[in-house]
Amino acid sequence: MAFYYTEPSRTFNEFLLIPNLTTKDCTPANVELKTPITKFNKGEQPDISLNIPFSSAVMQSVSDHNMAIALARCGGISFIFGSQSVEDQAAMVRKVKEYKAGFVVSRSNLTPEHTLKDVLELKEKTGHSTVAITGDGTPNGKLLGIVTSRDYRISRDTLDKRIQDFMTPFSSLIYGKSSLTLPEANDLIWEHKLNCLPIVDEQQNLRYLVFRKDYDAHKGNPLELLDGNKSYIVGAGINSKDYEERVPALVAAGVDILVIDASDGYSEWQRDTLQYVKSNFNVKIGAGNVVDREGFLYLVESGADFVKVGIGGGAICITREQKGIGRGQASALIEVAEAREEYYKETGIYVPICSDGGIVHDYHITLALAMGADFVMMGRYFARFDESPTKKLMIGNNFVKEFWGEGSNRARNWQRYDTGGKQGLVFEEGVDSYVPYAGGLQENLDKTISKIKSTMSNCGTKSIAEMQQNARITLVSATSLVEGGAHDVIMKESSLSGE
């Protein structure tokens, strides 16, 4: 007969944290939110960690290259949506990897024989205002000059004017040798008040460009999530259908980590996908989604570097309504976290888990971390910001942004929900909706992080690992939920109102 869980399927709304002793050094300023995203052996460090426990969801309406850049700048990670062509997704990954680096391989190059028209067309295509002029027009050809927007005036120069007639020639450039370190290169930039410093070898061949803006950006964002080349770390979502075509292109584009995005990850298709990636590429990959011990262990034993937890808890997800399948996010996370701890004790391998869905209020994030999540994945939260790829609209008297699920007819991401049947979306598991517009990402994220750190201080913990070990959590009644909010008063408007 069928197996019955006797414990109700519980949500984050049904729990509260109990304070622990807050010592004098346990202040928000001393709370560390760095967290692993890839599995590692006991006593070792993970290959990839996040500086804040946030990832944006694998959704068309949330995670493109702009969101990936903005979130990596703050210390988190985006998984660029996979419900698009392989070429378009790889191009988004490439844009993130090319956006910032200490030593940048020049990606906008022309020869002296090209014209101003070629410069303007290249700028329109790439967005780069600095063009390296090399003998053969390649990134590593002999450097003959540089063109920036200060070298020409569109109102006076003709489009057929040759570059050699208006470029800044090599003889007039301040440049560095290839043996230069990044701090030395930045010193030259500041000393000579440069925006760009070319790095050349002994034969005058261009090796790299170093930009002033990259130095400024890093100083203003100390938690930036960077790889060894000082480029932003970025993830990408894949499915279990076209992975043999998609994964090679994403790896070639420089993706740091993948995740198999599926409504139900407890499947042989995910095992096949994991084993293909692990056998052919040196790239990290997570899997999911699951809601219990069995699903977690299956994916871990199949090779997953992290496991995503949650079915049916997303703001736009109607899987539970349509199919009657899923589990309250808190219950799912608690069971998977217990299974993870048992696996760690038995094998010495720590597998991070990601809580995906069910987060309505900021304190739900802290609860998820306390219950065992190493990081959270959110869609609605990030869809509200300027950096998401959707339109900002005026509905009534309020600004909103569009937000639709990957299981909606609009997304038509049938691969995410495929169970071996007809190749198409037979019924919807997501809705097309709006979310209240909230402004820029960083300001809102800073406020959320402040709440998390304050709560962790109340719990007497200064790291996520401590929180997972020492948090005390209680169930709450329906009446205590009412008691927990403002009640029995007439509210005034407040400029500090939060989410």
* Alpha helix (H) residue ranges in 33-115: 65-74, 86-99
Residue 111 class from Cβ within 10 Å (0-12 exposed, 13-18 middle, 19+ buried)? middle
- DSSP H/E element including 116: helix 116-126
Phi, psi dihedral angles at 27 (to 5 degrees): -110, 160
Total residues found in the chain within this entry: 499
Residue 455 class from Cβ within 10 Å (0-12 exposed, 13-18 middle, 19+ buried)? buried
Q: Closest by alpha carbon to 276, among 252, 234, 309, 242?
A: 242
Q: Which two tokens stand for residue 437?
A: 């517009």
Which residue among 246, 271, 416, 459 is the active-site one? 416
Which residue among 317, 327, 380, 384 is the active-site one? 317
Q: Closest by alpha carbon to 464, among 37, 10, 11?
A: 37
- Residue that has been written with the tokens 């988004």 in this structure: 92
Q: Which two tokens stand for residue 329?
A: 């996010």
Q: Is the dihedral of CA 321, 326, 332, 333 positive or negative?
A: negative
**Distance, CA of 298 to CA of 266 (rounded, Å):** 7
Q: Closest by alpha carbon to 265, among 243, 236, 235, 239?
A: 239
Q: Closest by alpha carbon to 15, among 450, 330, 326?
A: 330
Partnered with residue 142 across adjacent β-strands are 205
Phi, psi dihedral angles at 169 (to 5 degrees): -70, 160
- Relative orientation angle of helices 86-99 and 65-74, to the nearest 10 degrees: 30
Give yes or no for a contact between 18 and 480, defined as CB atoms under 8 angstroms apart.
no
Q: Which amino acid makes up residue 428?
A: E
**Distance, CA of 199 to CA of 209 (rounded, Å):** 6
- DSSP H/E element including 376: strand 375-378
Has 416 been annotated as catalytic? yes
Q: Which amino acid makes up residue 161?
A: K
CB atoms within 10 A of CB 12: 23
Q: Closest by alpha carbon to 56, among 434, 382, 444, 480?
A: 382
CA 96 to chain centroid, in Å, comes to 11
Q: Which residues are catalytic?
A: 317, 416
